[in-house]
Amino acid sequence: MSTFVGIDIAAKTVDLVIRHDNKNSLVKTFEQTPNGRTEILTLLQQHAPQSVVMEATGIYYLDLAVALHDADIPISVINPKSFNHFAQIKLEHSKTDNIDAGLLAEYAQRMAPEKWTPPQKNKLKIRDISRQINRLTDDCTKAKNRLHAMKSYEDTSDLVIHDEQDGIAYLESRIQRLRMAALEMIKSDTEIAQQFNNILAAKGIGEVSAIAMLGELIILPETLKANQVSRYAGLDVRLNQSGSSLNRPGRLSKAGNAYLRSALFMPAMSAVRHDPNVKAFYEALVARGKKKIQAMCAVMRKMLTGIWACLKLNTPYDSSKLFSDEHKKACA
């Protein structure tokens, strides 16, 4: 009988269950450290599993997944949403690390997921930098909002205001340092540099947004189709219909990559104002009766489709082809 393994990833520990002859072993717990990963590799090499499955949990899965791949152990990294649906089908209402590891082992046996291929390390570094820029930008925005609130109150201490201003300046210096580092890494690779320039050809997309989009998209398999990339970004529409009694409007799933959605929002708003092709598409949707936010989400999906195409085909982003007259007529 084949052997299957489920691994539940946490920030500090890893829970592992080996499934053999349709029975799960007792859970084994390892530390999320290089030594812990070495112990896991030794154990799995002894059992030679047919498939090992883990969830794409933040960034905590990545080091172990790469180590297993490099050791020629068949590893599959699945979407947490997919695993959640599997747990619901199994009528498993409790959620603990032990239970999840066992279910992941059964998922490996029942679902036969595709094997995972790690991205190139330089691409992962660009993604890490772009995400850090995103986080620091969010912190900087919050700090600026706090400063505005402080200045609106007359009795706020000057010391507190100056301290907040110093914090903002420090955050901005960190963002600039990371931005320059990302640009240097992009320029050092001819292919990635060309992809970056292709994205920059879009009206509304500046360097920071292009770095964020590039960091999230270059690690994806090139075989993905545009609708799959939209689902990855959480820009797909989820329908909620059942019989004749339930027919709610479609809404964004928001189950995908929040970094990518965040990177697309401001460029989409800018493109609606400054790109005549995008503006015509947006206004056609609004005239049709769509809410402004729905029309904006449609623009984001279209832009993502165009960006993905320019990365795969190595051609500059062209809104005149993407937002063509045919698209406008379809929305009229």
- One-letter amino acid at 156 equals T
Instruction: Read off the CATH number of the domain in which 23 is found.
Output: 3.30.420.40
My answer on whether 84 and 22 are in the same domain is yes
Position 150 in a domain: yes
* pLDDT score of 323: 82
My answer on whether 19 and 53 are in the same domain is yes
> How many whole angstroms separate alpha carbon 94 and alpha carbon 144?
42
* pLDDT score of 94: 66
Q: By percentage, how much of the chain surpasses pLDDT 90?
A: 59
* pLDDT score of 267: 94
Exposed e or buried b per residue across 296-327, where buried means at least 16 C-beta atoms within 10 angstroms of its C-beta: bbbbbbbbbbbbbbbbbeeeebebeebbeeeb
pLDDT band with cut points at 50, 70 and 90 for residue 254: low
> How many whole angstroms separate alpha carbon 223 and alpha carbon 307?
15
Position 214 in a domain: no
Has residue 245 got a pLDDT over 60? Answer: no
Average pLDDT for 260-284: 92
pLDDT band with cut points at 50, 70 and 90 for residue 238: low
My answer on whether 55 and 91 are in the same domain is yes
My answer on whether 20 and 102 are in the same domain is yes
My answer on whether 106 and 147 are in the same domain is no
Number of domains in the chain: 2
Average pLDDT for 65-93: 87
Has residue 241 got a pLDDT over 50? Answer: no
Position 249 in a domain: no
Instruction: Give the residues across from 76 on adjacent strands.
Output: 53
* pLDDT score of 326: 42
Has residue 249 got a pLDDT over 70? Answer: no
* pLDDT score of 171: 97
- Domain boundary (111, 134, 149) is at 111
Lowest-confidence region among 145-154, 171-180, 223-232: 223-232
My answer on whether 31 and 62 are in the same domain is yes
Question: In which element (H, E) is residue 147 found?
Answer: helix 121-151
Query: Is the distance from CB of 198 to CB of 314 less than 8 angstroms?
Result: yes
Q: 187: exposed, middle or buried (C-beta count within 10 Å: 0-12, 13-18, 19+)? A: exposed
Has residue 277 got a pLDDT over 70? Answer: yes
Position 34 in a domain: yes
Has residue 30 got a pLDDT over 70? Answer: yes
222 or 253: whose pLDDT is higher?
A: 222
My answer on whether 94 and 156 are in the same domain is no
Q: By percentage, how much of the chain surpasses pLDDT 70?
A: 89
Query: Is the distance from CB of 143 to CB of 171 less than 8 angstroms?
Result: yes
* pLDDT score of 322: 82
Has residue 242 got a pLDDT over 50? Answer: no
* pLDDT score of 251: 61
Position 77 in a domain: yes
Domain of residue 139, residue span? 121-189
pTM above 0.85, yes or no: no
- Domain boundary (61, 92, 111) is at 111
My answer on whether 43 and 66 are in the same domain is yes
Contacts of 120 (CB under 8 A, 6+ apart): none
Position 23 in a domain: yes
- Domain boundary (172, 189, 206) is at 189
What are the counts of helices (DSSP H) followed by strands (DSSP E) for the chain?
A: 14, 8
Average pLDDT for 304-308: 93
My answer on whether 72 and 167 are in the same domain is no
Position 36 in a domain: yes
Q: For residue range 168-214, what is the model confidence (pLDDT) as tens digits?
A: 999 999 999 999 999 999 999 999 999 999 999 999 999 999 999 99
Q: For residue range 93-125, what is the model confidence (pLDDT) as tens digits?
A: 666 767 889 999 999 999 989 999 888 889 989
Which bin fits 139, alpha (ψ -120 to 50), beta or left (φ > 0)? alpha
